[in-house]
Amino acid sequence: MLTPPRQLHSLGGLTGLLEQMRQKWGDTRGYSLTVYPDYAALQRPDPADDRRALQYVYRGGWGDPSSSAKDDRDVLVDLAAFDVPTVVGIMRGAPETLGIKADDVDNVYLSIGPNSDETAPPGAIDLAIYVSSEFGSGYIELNGDGSVKQINYPSN
């Protein structure tokens, strides 16, 4: 039995979260995964109805799902198809990269989903690291290999 991860933005925590997905469903596929420091939100297909999506919240374990209609943006991808150590390193430095003082940070989260670039290969994913503070918010968009797509600095 794997110890449930609690600090999901650490290397062990993010790796452990993805392993918890593998243990529960046998894979890491889904429509989106949003990872906050101490919980995560996952959207997966509904095996009973391909027109619906199931949303799960992870807080030391996967809660019961809620359901909603699927939309065109819901493309099934491997949500673990990224360089975890590189992304964790970028996440750690994201406030500094975005020019937000560490003491001012209110929230940081990682968003993983299908690549929005129509020229990207099928199954490619996009990652974005969002940082918010009272004095502005910004985000860093990444490719699955951890290379930076773009940086959206806070507006002043």
- 81 pLDDT more than 90: yes
CATH of domain 84-152: 3.10.450
CB atoms within 10 A of CB 2: 9
Distance in angstroms (rounded) separating the CA atoms of residues 51 and 46: 8
Q: Could you give the C-alpha distances from 78 to 106, 114, 153, in angstroms and in order? A: 29, 9, 28
- 1 pLDDT more than 70: no
| Residue-wise pLDDT tens digits, 107-149 | 999 999 999 888 989 999 999 999 999 999 999 999 999 999 9
Given a contact cutoff of 8 angstroms between Cβ atoms, the answer to whether 111 and 34 are in contact is yes
**For the residues 20-35, what does the mean pLDDT come to?**
98
| Residue-wise pLDDT tens digits, 47-73 | 999 999 999 999 999 999 999 999 988
3 vs 19, which has greater pLDDT? 19
